Structure formats: structure tokens, C-alpha cells
Structure 1
Amino acid sequence: MNTLDSHALDLLFHEARSQNGWRDEPVTEEQLRRLYEIMQWGPTSMNCQPLRILFLRSPEAKERLQPALMPNNVAKTMSAPVVAILGYDTKFYENLPRTFPHNQKAKSLFEDKPDFADTTAFRNSSIQGGYFIIAARAVGLDAGPMSGFANPKVDAEFWPDGRVKSNFLCGLGQGDPEKVFNRSPRLAFDEVCTLV
């Protein structure tokens, strides 16, 4: 089995940090496309792929987001070169005949079952959100994921038809090393894991 070398692990995990401030450097459309091209290959249950992403790149787009932000998230969000709104399509199952072609009846598992569909969409979009952060780091971008915002306000502003719901936000760009917090402790293996 192939494994990543220490440089790759540092880039993706050991040295990577959640960003709280940004340098004034652009993020290109090519970088965003590469990010997606990498993250799309991460697995989801039944290949359901519920994640939907809005990349807010203009000051005007970010201004639309500002009323939904908690006060301590405003400065870092507004200064990020790009802010991604990661959401989930509550009717993801409409794509299953194409994305899960070996079972043409898969769609029927979710139709008329909104609670099951919503739980599946939220769970799998969260998994895809993890891939998103790692893919951002892989293409040379720093990421600043956050959940300090009012989901209903974001949904009403950006997805008013109600089909897509917001999960979390993520700033993208080149992080300002002066605004990174000291690394916080992590729980040890024996505190989290049990071998059975």
C-alpha cells in the first residue's frame, strides 16, 4: 500500500491550521476548479454527492452574507479572498439514476422520506466538507471553516427555494500567519478510540 510522505502529511494535517485572517492575495477560478476536481473523488454513501458549494468572490456577494454572521466572524469572513458556503441538496436522490447507475431503484429509498433524505444529505455533505478542506490544502490554499452563523438567514439569502440548506462556511486564500492561534491540544488515541 502506498502512503503519503511526511511533507504531504504536514501540508494536509500536521502543519495545516484553521485560518482567522488573510493576506490580500487572489484565489483563482483555476484553483477552485482544481479543488473541486480533487474533492469530488471522496466517497459518499450510495455515491449520493449532496454537497453544493457557492464560492463568494466579490465584496458584494460577501456583503450579502454579513448579516448572517456572528460578530466575531465578520472581520475574518469579509477579508477572506473567497468564502465558500457549503450546503446540501435535500433532493440529491434525483441524481441517483446517474450517480448510482447499477441500482436504478435507489431513488425510491429517499422519495417521500424527507427526514431520511435530510439526514443522509447532511451527513454526507459533512463528509464531503472534510474532503473540501483537505483538497483546498492540496492545491495550496489555506482554509478557515466556521459554523458561527445563522443558517436560516444564509438559506433565505442564497437558496431561497429551500431545496439546498447550508451546512458550514469556509474561508479560502493565503492565511495571515500573524492571525493564527497557537495549536490547541488534541485528544489522545486512548481517550477517543476503543479496540473491541
Structure 2
Amino acid sequence: MPVTLPELTLPRAAQDLLFREARTANAFTDEAVTADEIRAVYDLVKYGPTAMNGQPLRITLITSDEARARLLPHMAEGNRAKTASAPVVAILASDADFHEFLPTVLPHAPHMRDVLHDAADNRTAMADLNAGLQIGYFIIGVRAAGLYAGPMTGFDGAGIDAEFHAGTNRKTLVVANIGHPTESSWFDRLPRLDDADVITVL
């Protein structure tokens, strides 16, 4: 017998906007998206939790033809056309040097900068995991702004890093096209696992 789930505090229309009716966009109109709109998205989602408040996500916005020409050769062939036509492309990367900000963002334990400085492998793993969390927040923020995201992992990460992150400790995790979708933007929605397949109650 189906279980009746309780209502959530967030209004149904907002739930639909952020989750049920939200889709991954694969084609975009030529309606502009500004860097300030993406800054507003980040200003909302920066409050999502990360370990030690480390905030390792770094975002590079590709808006110019010159920057796009540098990015496209590193994208998988099936992702190039939509990346070429998206109003804005966000390179979402982890920064393994996030610990340099810890005295500011973790003022009660500034010594953690020095602890992590000597633990490069742990620091990199922390950066990747927590930047991944922030990427999830970022996609929800894009939806909250009335925009659509097309996140991709089909690319040459080493090539992108050499092109855009040289001299840093940043690693590209996701490239996301952002804009307003066309009517032909959608693939068929794929099934999601049911809560019974995912949740174990002990």
C-alpha cells in the first residue's frame, strides 16, 4: 500500500521549480544571461554547508568568444555544439588551496590552515568532496533564478586546467551550460529510485 508522505514546508510551486519540473537543458535560446545574474546565484548558495566552512568551489564564467574558443577543444565532441551556443558556461572547479582562507572563514580555529598545509592528499580529497556539494547547491541556485543548467562531465579536465587554471591548485569537476532553454532542449526524463530503494531506517 502506498505511503502518504507529509507535506514539506517549502510551497509546492517552489518544490516543482527546484526539483520536480526542473530539467537538464541541452539547447538554449539567445536570451542573454549576465555575470551579475550568476553572482546573485552564488550569493544565495554560498550559505550551503561545507566541511570546516572551507568553501573550495571556484567558478570561471565563460562569456566571451575568445574564452569559448579556448574551452571548446577540451569538451567531448557530443558536448561542443551546446557549449558553443549557451549564453554562459561555468567551469566549476575545486581548489586544493582552500585552506589559505581558513583563518578568515574559520576564525575560531585558524591553526587548521597549517594542519592542512601538511596534509596535501587529505586536503585535495576534502576540496573535491566539498566542491561537489557546492556544485549541487549551485545547480539548485540556477534553477531558483529561473535559469536552466546543463551540467557535464564529458571533457578533458587536464586540458581545461592547463588552459584556465595554470599556476593554481584548481581541478575542473563539472562544466555547466546556463541559459534559457529552447522547446527542443529536453531528453526524456529518466526514472529515479524510489525512497524504499535508497533509505534504510534502523
The two structures have a TM-score, normalised by structure 1, of: 0.96
Match of 2:130 in 1: 124
Whole-Å separation in 1 of the counterparts to 2:54 and 2:9: 27
Q: Note the C-alpha offset of 1:179.
A: 2.3
- Deviation per CA, 1:17-56, whole angstroms, max 9, x where unpaired? 0011111110023211211101111110100000000000
Amino-acid identity (%): 44
Structure 1 residue runs of 5 or longer lacking an equivalent are none
Match of 2:85 in 1: 79
Match of 1:25 in 2: 31
Q: Note the C-alpha offset of 1:108.
A: 2.5
Q: Note the C-alpha offset of 1:8.
A: 0.4
Match of 2:196 in 1: 190
Q: Note the C-alpha offset of 1:189.
A: 1.1
Q: Which runs of 4+ in 1 moved over 6 A?
A: none
Residue from 47, 52, 57 that aligns with 2:63: 57
Whole-Å separation in 2 of the counterparts to 1:63 and 1:29: 18
- Deviation per CA, 1:47-93, whole angstroms, max 9, x where unpaired? 00000000001122111111111110011111100000000111100
Whole-Å separation in 2 of the counterparts to 1:15 and 1:139: 14
Q: Note the C-alpha offset of 1:169.
A: 0.5
Match of 2:151 in 1: 145
Whole-Å separation in 2 of the counterparts to 1:133 and 1:162: 24
What are the within-5 Å matches in structure 2 for residues 71-110 of structure 1?
71-110=77-116
Secondary structure of the structure 2 residue equivalent to 1:84: strand
CA RMSD of aligned residues (A): 1.1
Match of 2:5 in 1: none
Q: How many residues align?
A: 195
The two structures have a TM-score, normalised by structure 2, of: 0.93
